[in-house]
Amino acid sequence: MNLQFEIERIPKKNVGLIQKLLMEWAKDNKIPFPWQNNRNPYYALVAGVCAQQTQMSRILEIFNRWIDSFPTIEKGANASRAEILQVWGNAGYPRRAANLHKTLKICVNKYDSIIPHDEDLLIQLPGVGPFTASIIQIFGYGIDKTAIDTNITRIYGRVICGDPQPVHESDPKLIQIVAAQLLPSGKAHIWNPTLMDFGATVCTAKPKCDSCILKKICVARPKLHSGIELLPTKKTSTFMNSNRYWRGKILKILREKNNNSENFSRKNLVVSLTKDLDLQEKLQKLIDDLAKEELIWLQENMVGLGDSPGSNRNSN
DNA sequence: GCAGTTCCTTCCCAGTCCGG
DNA sequence: CCGGACTGGGAAGGAACTGC
């Protein structure tokens, strides 16, 4: 009997047991977040965008700051790009904030200030892919499905498919089949965050099998127990002096200048960051790129936060 | 040659880890 | 203790591949 066949028909007994064990674990361990029980598609959208590239521990702070500043879709859509970036602060990947801003404008202008619930419409929105679309459907509209991320792929990859590695690389369709069978009906808004939290705290890259409630039924457990060598997770490039490092520096300075409503010349911006002439040349290119992405504006020899000069002064 | 699909790389930074 | 390296992970865009 091959693995695929077994996985396509997980015994009902095992499905029930896994659901029961994880739901019990959730009672004591799942961290409650404000977007998980509100059935608010706007909250779900903001949370989904915040969750991209960001550790769970940092999401709440960004989410709260955003909702405090822009409590409704219209407030967010009508804000200036500078205000959006100011609120986003140093949360990282500012393009996400710009995309979220564009998405809110589209929802206001095209969908009558409503965030769509249809997956095909959702993934057409800037910065919304399959994962974020699923988050909106699950938490915003109570649709029963699994938002498959690497945590969930790793858990199902280990517990069901028997792959011990931190990054499960078999057919993604197989994981979808597993996910569909294990999803407890009517409980997607609890089940998804439970799996995500479980993957973030127990079934991590280097798993904590001793304290794992699924250890007796985990197919990968014997391999993990025998001390199999886990593949290292992919290395990321050095952050210091990288483009993303300098982009972050440029935006930080412009956020401060924007706060003080100060004008700033492009030359002063570059010189304030470095005296190194080669680096200055590189920074000039990064400034051009940031302007193309509508994260900063350039006019004559001046530079500022947002997509147009003075766009932070029109909010009333 | 072209369109469609799949694969690969880059983007982003605070918290954590680790070696000196 | 300090500073530098590592970690996490979906979206987007480009590159490579496939099929007609």
Per-residue model confidence as pLDDT tens digits over A80-95: 888 888 888 777 777 7
What topology is assigned to A243-313 in CATH? Arc Repressor Mutant, subunit A (1.10.10)
Q: Between residues A140 and A34, which one has the greater pLDDT?
A: A140
Strand B closer than 7 A to residue A243 Cβ: yes
Single-letter amino acid, residue A227:
G
Give pLDDT tens digits for A123-157. 777 777 778 888 888 888 888 888 877 777 778 88
Q: Which nucleotide is nearest to A147 (CA to C1')?
A: C10
SS (H, E, C) A146-196: CCCCHHHHHHHHHHCCCCCCCCCCCCHHHHHHHHHHHCCCCCHHHHHHHHH
- Residues A294, A307: contact at Cβ < 8 Å? yes
Residue nearest to nucleotide C3 (CA to C1'): A240
CA A230 to C1' B16, in angstroms, rounded, equals: 20
Strand B closer than 7 A to residue A94 Cβ: yes
Q: Report residues 58-77 of A contacting strand B, contact meaning Cβ closer than 7 Å.
A: 58
Q: Which nucleotide is nearest to A93 (CA to C1')?
A: B12
Give me the pLDDT at residue A19, please.
92
Which bases of chain B are contacted by protein, using any atom under 7 A from a CB? 10-16
Matching fold, domains A3-32+146-225 and A243-313: no
- List chain A domain ranges: 3-32+146-225, 41-141, 243-313
Q: Examine the pLDDT at A41 and tell me if it is beyond 80.
A: yes
Q: Which CATH number fits domain A3-32+146-225: 1.10.1670.10, 3.40.50.620, 3.30.70.1400, 1.10.240.10?
A: 1.10.1670.10
Strand B closer than 7 A to residue A208 Cβ: no
Arithmetic mean of pLDDT over chain A:
77
Give pLDDT tens digits for A204-219. 767 777 778 888 888 8
Strand B closer than 7 A to residue A200 Cβ: no
Q: Which one-letter DSSP state was computed for residue A265?
A: B
pLDDT exceeding 70 applies to what percent of chain A? 83
CA A21 to C1' C3, in angstroms, rounded, equals: 43
Q: Count the neighbouring beta carbons within 10 Å of the beta carbon of residue A256.
A: 13
Q: Between residues A191 and A56, which one has the greater pLDDT?
A: A191
Q: Which nucleotide is nearest to A150 (CA to C1')?
A: C9
Mean pLDDT, range A35-46, rounded to an integer: 84
CA A166 to C1' C9, in angstroms, rounded, equals: 13
Q: Is the dihedral of CA A122, A127, A130, A133 positive or negative?
A: negative
Q: Which nucleotide is nearest to A233 (CA to C1')?
A: C7
Query: Which among A183, A293, A58 has a CA at the least distance from the CA of A47?
Result: A58
Q: What is the pTM of this model?
A: 0.86
Strand B closer than 7 A to residue A5 Cβ: no
Give me the pLDDT at residue A6, please.
64
Q: Examine the pLDDT at A171 and tell me if it is beyond 70.
A: no
pLDDT exceeding 90 applies to what percent of chain A? 3
Give me the pLDDT at residue A226, please.
72
Give me the pLDDT at residue A89, please.
74
CATH number, span A41-141:
1.10.340.30
Residues 6+ away with beta carbon under 8 Å from A15:
A181, A182
Q: Work out the angle between the directed axes of helices A188-201 and A12-29 (0-180°, nearest 10).
A: 70
CA A267 to C1' C2, in angstroms, rounded, equals: 34
pLDDT band at A1 (very low <50, low <70, confident <90, very high): very low
Q: Between residues A278 and A15, which one has the greater pLDDT?
A: A15
Give pLDDT tens digits for A231-284. 555 444 555 566 667 777 777 778 777 777 777 888 888 887 777 777 777 777
Give pLDDT tens digits for A17-28. 999 998 988 887
Give me the pLDDT at residue A231, please.
59
Strand B closer than 7 A to residue A53 Cβ: yes
